């Protein structure tokens, strides 16, 4: 119990149980997919609306951090909101201080350093959320997965949340480097649909693009519904 209660105490086998519990919170969160394509990054989230009484627009799972960076979240929504605000502040500080947009790896490391501090000091708990951060800078196209421990991993295509195992299986089988944007979105939606036994609700899916030409933008809901209907039709044909 002593190792279970305190974030600052390692168990005899070198584990921090509170960090592992935070990871479990992420695993219970909504499934999120990110894919790099030839000219940018696509982030796709199933918001998993549990009641028709819920206004789907009130649930945010994808956020704009800057014109060239976006992120999708899984886990505790309130924790994610705090990290997103921190990321936005860091991006603006860099712009004011240096007169240029922050590089994606620099921002990710700052956020992960912030998350790591909450695994090291008493009186606080780790953030129960993971961020899938995508962006474009002068050094190229980036997609990062950030862990509650403060660890970060760069991916060509990745996933966080409840259906991660199924999604990663589909991506490992079908993902191709330098895919076109539409192909990447279709693959992400296909992987997302296979991660859910009940399929995906078109009203609950959110897609954002970070593109070399347009920067950050979200796809309109009618366009998303058309894409999902095609995926559903292909599944019925199979």
| Chain centroid to CA 38 | 19
Please report which residue ranges of the chain form alpha helices under DSSP H.
Answer: 2-5, 17-27, 77-98, 104-117, 164-174, 181-194, 221-237
What are the percentages of helix, strand and coil residues in the chain, rounded to 5?
40, 25, 35
Q: Which domain holds residue 91?
A: 2-237
Q: Which of 22, 46, 9, 15 is nearest to 202 (CA)?
A: 46
DSSP state of 175: -
Q: Which helix (H) or strand (E) holds 142?
A: strand 140-146
Q: How confident is the model at residue 11 (pLDDT cuts 50, 70, 90)?
A: confident
Instruction: Calculate mean pLDDT across residues 95-118.
Output: 95
Side-chain half-sphere CA neighbours of 231 within 13 A: 23
Instruction: Calculate mean pLDDT across residues 207-215.
Output: 93
62-66 and 129-137 beta bridge pairing: unpaired
| 60-103: pLDDT as tens digits | 899 999 999 999 999 999 999 999 999 999 999 999 999 999 99
Three-state DSSP class for 207? strand
Based on the structure, what is the number of domains in the chain?
1
Answer with the residue of higher pLDDT: 196 or 191: 191
The CATH number of whichever domain residue 31 belongs to comes to: 3.60.20.10
Strands lying side by side in the sheet with 62-66: 62-66, 69-75, 129-137, 140-146, 152-154
**pTM of the predicted model, to two decimals?**
0.90
| 119-143: pLDDT as tens digits | 888 778 899 999 999 999 999 999 9
Would you say the C-alpha torsion 38, 40, 41, 42 has a positive or negative sign?
Answer: negative
Query: CA Rg, the chain, in Å?
Result: 18
Both tokens assigned to 232: 């559903």
Cβ atoms within 10 Å of 21's Cβ, excluding its own: 15
């Amino acid at each position: 119990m002593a190792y279970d209660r305190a974030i600052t105490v390692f168990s005899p086998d070198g584990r921090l149980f509170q960090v592992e519990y935070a990871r479990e919170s992420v695993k219970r969160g909504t499934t999120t997919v990110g894919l790099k394509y030839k000219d940018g990054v696509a982030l796709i989230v199933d918001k998993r609306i549990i009641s028709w009484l819920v206004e789907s627009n009130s649930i945010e799972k994808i956020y704009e951090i800057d014109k060239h960076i976006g992120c999708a979240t899984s886990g505790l929504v309130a924790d994610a909101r705090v990290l997103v605000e921190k990321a936005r502040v860091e991006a603006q500080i860099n712009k004011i201080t240096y007169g240029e947009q922050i590089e994606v790896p620099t921002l990710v490391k700052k956020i992960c350093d912030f998350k790591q501090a909450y695994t090291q000091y008493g009186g606080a708990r780790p953030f129960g959320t993971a961020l899938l951060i995508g962006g474009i800078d002068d050094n190229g196209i980036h997609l990062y997965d950030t862990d509650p421990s403060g660890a970060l991993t760069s991916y060509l295509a990745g996933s966080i949340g409840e259906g991660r195992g199924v999604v990663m299986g589909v991506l490992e089988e079908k993902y191709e480097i330098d895919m076109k944007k539409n192909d990447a979105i279709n693959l992400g939606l296909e992987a997302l649909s296979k991660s859910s036994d009940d399929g995906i609700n078109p009203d609950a899916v959110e897609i954002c693009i970070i593109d070399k030409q347009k920067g950050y933008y979200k796809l309109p809901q009618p366009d998303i519904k058309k894409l999902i209907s095609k995926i559903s039709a292909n599944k019925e044909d199979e």
